[in-house]
């Protein structure tokens, strides 16, 4: 049985004082949620988010992490720094990092390994662009991204891995993949995981991300291999985030 997850990706939104307000709204809103609730916030909001969510059912994550342990990497944040703050999760390989910050499959792998070795849970993002989908290479691309991201990750560490399938054409565009499109790729990702990790792959949560909102979450989450959502825009409104979290049917 995979525990369903909703993970918010706040992106570059909310100052620390604005974050305090949103977390205060979220705490009562999601307190009875039957899924795991994660909020991934900008680095500058992490201290506030961790302090405010102590003793609640909200888990805090970062949106990125550097792969080196320490040293001359101006502007970067290490996995140990996140762990020391009480952060539990980190997103790696988000398509915006790949698109705007030259993230590659290789650096995604290095970040995932650094995070896992430090004891963090990672949410590894994969997904195709519109052009790649139209060219019919979605499966090849997702296979490559998933396999390289998980290079040298052990079966034991897989307990701390979440995969997020995020078709780039659906992120922040209002265009959602249909539930069938999502299920097709989620099931495909699970076969890739099975090739490497066998039956343990059935334990790995695979989230859908891309314009997920209260109105489309129930249909997406009803699919066998869709274990929840990585939520961008809708995670910035407590009511929407809560409503998405209520979209899980009994499977
Ligand atoms: C995301 O940023 O991971 C995301 C899915 O964004 P949105 O929900 O806004 O499309």
Q: Which residues make Cβ contacts (< 8 Å) with residue 124, sequence separation at least 6? A: 92, 93, 108, 112, 146, 149, 150, 161, 162, 163, 164
Binding site membership of 93 for ligand 1 (Cβ less than 6 Å): no
Residue identifier of the C-alpha nearest atom 1 of ligand 1: 232
What is the CA(97)–ligand 1 centre distance, in A? Answer: 13
**pLDDT given at position 251:** 61
Which of 71, 82, 28 lies closest to 53, judged by CA? 28
Relative to the CA of 173, which ligand 1 atom is closest?
10
SS3 (DSSP) at 102: coil
Active site residue 66: no
Q: What is the mean pLDDT of each run of 10 residues along the chain (251 residues)?
A: 94 98 96 94 98 98 98 98 98 97 98 98 97 96 98 97 97 92 98 96 97 95 97 96 88 61
Under a CB-based contact definition with an 8 Å cutoff, are residues 205 and 163 in contact?
yes
Which residue, judged by its Cα, is nearest atom 2 of ligand 1? Answer: 232
Task: Give me the catalytic one of 59, 66, 94, 186.
Answer: 94
What is the model's pLDDT at position 73? 98
The pTM (predicted TM-score) of the whole model is 0.97
Query: CA torsion, points 113, 114, 118, 123, in degrees to nearest 10?
Result: -60
> From the alpha carbon of 171, which atom of ligand 1 is closest?
10
Query: 224 an active-site residue?
Result: no
For ligand 1, what atom is nearest to the CA of residue 170?
10
pLDDT at 247: 85
């Amino acid at each position: 049985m995979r525990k369903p997850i909703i993970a918010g990706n706040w992106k570059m939104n909310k100052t620390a004082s604005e974050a305090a307000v949103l977390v205060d709204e979220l705490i009562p809103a999601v307190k009875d949620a039957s899924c795991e609730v994660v909020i991934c916030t900008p680095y500058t909001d992490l201290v506030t988010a961790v302090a405010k969510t102590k003793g609640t059912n909200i888990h805090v994550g970062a949106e990125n992490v550097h792969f080196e342990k320490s040293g001359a990497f101006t502007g970067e944040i290490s996995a140990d720094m996140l762990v020391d703050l009480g952060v539990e999760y980190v997103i790696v390989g988000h398509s915006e990092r790949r698109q705007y910050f030259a993230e590659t499959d290789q650096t995604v792998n290095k970040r995932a390994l650094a995070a896992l070795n430090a004891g963090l849970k990672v949410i590894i993002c994969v997904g195709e662009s519109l052009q790649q989908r139209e060219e019919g290479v979605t499966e090849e691309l997702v296979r490559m991204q998933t396999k390289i991201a998980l290079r040298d990750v052990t079966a034991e560490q897989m307990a701390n891995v979440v995969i997020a399938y995020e078709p780039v054409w659906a992120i922040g565009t209002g265009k959602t993949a249909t539930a069938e499109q999502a299920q097709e790729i989620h099931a495909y990702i699970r076969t890739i995981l099975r090739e490497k990790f066998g039956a343990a792959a059935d334990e790995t949560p695979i989230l859908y991300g891309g314009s997920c909102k209260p109105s489309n979450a129930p249909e997406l989450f009803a699919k066998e291999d869709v274990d929840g959502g990585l939520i961008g825009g809708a995670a910035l409104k407590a009511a929407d985030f809560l409503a998405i979290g209520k979209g899980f049917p009994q499977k």
